[in-house]
Amino acid sequence: MGGAQAGAGERPAPPTTGSHGRGRPIGAGRQGERPRLQPWPEPGRGRSRSRSRSRSRSRGGPGRSDRGPSRPAVNPLYESTFLFDNDFPALRPDAPSPGPSDHPLFRAEPARGVCKVLCFHPWSDVTLPLMSVPEIRTVIDTWAEVSEDLGAEYPWVQIFENKGAMMGCSNPHPHCQVWASSFLPDVPRREDGNQREYLRRHGEPLLLAYGRQEARRKERLVLANDDWLVLVPYWAVWPFQTLLLPRRHVLRLQDLQPGERDSLAAIMKQLLTRYDNLFETSFPYSMGWHGAPAGPLGEAEAGHWQLHAHYYPPLLRSATVRKFMVGYEMLAQAQRDLTPEQAAERLRQLPEEHFRLRQEKA
Ligand SMILES: [Zn+2]
């Protein structure tokens, strides 16, 4: 739990992001707003998809589970990334409308979408930091493709990875999930509003200005290359939370140039290697990409958006001692356990070589 050495109240609220899922009280939604209660998505069911029945160490994992009656019983062998439909999706394209409400406390709107799983690699015993830069580049290309494909139909395509049992992921096979929805979910909707307001007031996209400031100030910067920045955000609440940002103005993953995809693969490998080296463990986290809304919403002006990825790791002091968002954090406000500057310094000082490769050499 937060020791709050840094004093949570000393800094302004996050300009672009915040705690997940802290919606307004049930029933506080205004007319026409998507409600806090959604009867059709079944939160949590989608995660069970990644708990595949197959635990093959060599090949398999989430990509090798039993399939529905219209599909083959086993996914084909694959050589690099593999994208497939989630058998137990939280969002469905044909979800029925909730129907009229008879009370303002009980309102809901349709929530439709699709859920997919993307296996990063055919082997179950590797993770992204142990994959080669070209292999990670293939993952990035697949992210860009699925973002574009699903974005043609849905306004929000959420790519996210839960890594490690501590983050509720019991399947070690390297994979992420892709949920596309007919609505803009709470976190991106808040970011959309904040970025739109910043551009209106300052004439420049918020995260473009922010990245430039952090690149200049350097105290929260963890890694940088010609195209990308990794930093511990000024508003971080998780101990080793980071933000991955392109240096130039980029709206969506599919807008990345080939060279930017290569340099993204390289900086991801560097970041995730440092994460693993911090406590010499396969570092758990939830991460995800945020880009400009697509589909019908994307046709409107989206220049206030800047593509970025959030990494939210739970570990605090060791491979087993984690931060809990409980107590004061649930009831009042998130507390910091170390400052973003301290976290960035710790991450900067870690070796570039993965500890497992070091151990193999020893
Ligand atoms: Zn974001």
**Predicted structure pTM score:** 0.81
Beta pairing partners, 312: 286
Query: Tokens 């002006």 correspond to what residue?
Result: 301
CA of 243 to the centre of ligand 1 (A): 8
Longest dimension (CA), the chain: 69
Q: What is the mean pLDDT of each run of 10 residues along the chain (362 residues)?
A: 32 30 27 31 30 38 39 61 90 89 89 95 92 96 97 96 89 92 95 96 98 98 98 97 98 98 98 98 97 76 95 96 94 94 98 95 86
User: What fold does the segment set 82-96+109-181 form as a domain?
Assistant: HIT family, subunit A (3.30.428)
At residue 108, the pLDDT reads 87
Are the CB atoms for 179 and 115 separated by under 8 Å? yes
Three-class SS of residue 130? helix
CA of 360 to the centre of ligand 1 (A): 37
At residue 77, the pLDDT reads 67
CA of 67 to the centre of ligand 1 (A): 33
Query: Which of 20, 121, 173, 175 is an active site residue?
Result: 175
CA of 199 to the centre of ligand 1 (A): 16
CA of 258 to the centre of ligand 1 (A): 23
| 324 exposure class (CB count in 10 Å sphere: 0-12, 13-18, 19+) | exposed
CA of 236 to the centre of ligand 1 (A): 12
> CA–CA separation, 120 vs 142, rounded Å?
9
CA of 174 to the centre of ligand 1 (A): 23
CA of 195 to the centre of ligand 1 (A): 10
CB environment 51-80: b (16+ within 10 A), e (fewer): ebebeeeebbbbbbbeeeeeeeeebeeeee
Query: Tokens 């570092």 correspond to what residue?
Result: 283
Instruction: Say whether 175 is catalytic.
Output: yes
CA of 88 to the centre of ligand 1 (A): 26
82-96+109-181 and 185-361: same fold?
yes
Query: What is the CB-side half-sphere exposure of residue 190 using CA atoms within 13 A?
Result: 14
CATH class of 185-361: alpha beta
At residue 124, the pLDDT reads 87
CA of 188 to the centre of ligand 1 (A): 6
For the chain, the domains span: 82-96+109-181, 185-361
Token digits of residue 301? 């002006």
